[in-house]
Amino acid sequence: MASKTSLVAATFAVLVGMTVAASASVQIVVNKSTQRMSVSVDGVPRYSWPVSTARAGYRTPNGTYAPTRLERSHYSRIYHNSPMPHSIFFHGGYAIHGSYATSRLGGPASHGCIRLHPSNAATLYNLVRTHGSTRIVVTGSRPAGRSVHRARHRSRATHRRSYYSRYRYGGYYR
């Protein structure tokens, strides 16, 4: 009888443990002032990584969000079909995703998304996918004087026009 009771208790403990693990909360905090992301699971800090947020002329919106969709392999429809591996969309077209421009991490360089090193993006993507609730908090402001592309800034409308004139309509390649 004692072994049967201990078996039931062990089974109960495993089931309760799985329920707790499945409902673990993930908190992602992005500080635009320091260009860093910190990730906590159940209040315990797990990771701290450099990121790139919006450069001059673009914005990464502050606020508290929940992921709206996850895409392992996504390509931008606006910016030259650029790869956005391990995308976690959180506010319309804004996402946290991997970037192969790793030399720009730690300073503002994006069109508004939050860029990570590809291996860190894969880790974060899997963490969000496997755990329960996730909260994304974006705070701070763009650091003054640290924009990578300040001199080459173009508005989104100008960027789209030049893209279409170059690639869609053969503008530069006639």
Tell me the pLDDT tens digit for each residue of 143-167. 875 444 443 444 455 555 554 444 4
Instruction: Give me the CATH topology for the region 24-148.
Output: L,D-transpeptidase catalytic domain-like (2.40.440)
Q: Tokens 């993930």 map to which residue?
A: 26
User: In this predicted model, which residue has the larger pLDDT, 11 or 136?
Assistant: 136
Indicate the pairing of strand 94-98 with strand 83-91: antiparallel
pLDDT at 142: 79
pLDDT at 81: 63
Q: Tokens 């799985």 map to which residue?
A: 18
- Is pLDDT above 50 for 64? yes
Is residue 18 within 8 Å of 74, Cβ to Cβ? no
**Between the CA of residue 154 and those of 57, 58, 59, 160, what are the distances in Å?**
7, 9, 13, 10
State how far Cα 59 lies from the chain centre: 15
User: In this predicted model, which residue has the larger pLDDT, 9 or 35?
Assistant: 35
What angle is formed at CA 33 by the lines to CA 80 and CA 145, rounded to 5 degrees?
70
pTM over 0.75: no
**All residues at 6 or more sequence positions from 67 whose CB lies less than 8 Å from its CB, including other chains:** 88, 89, 90, 128, 134, 136
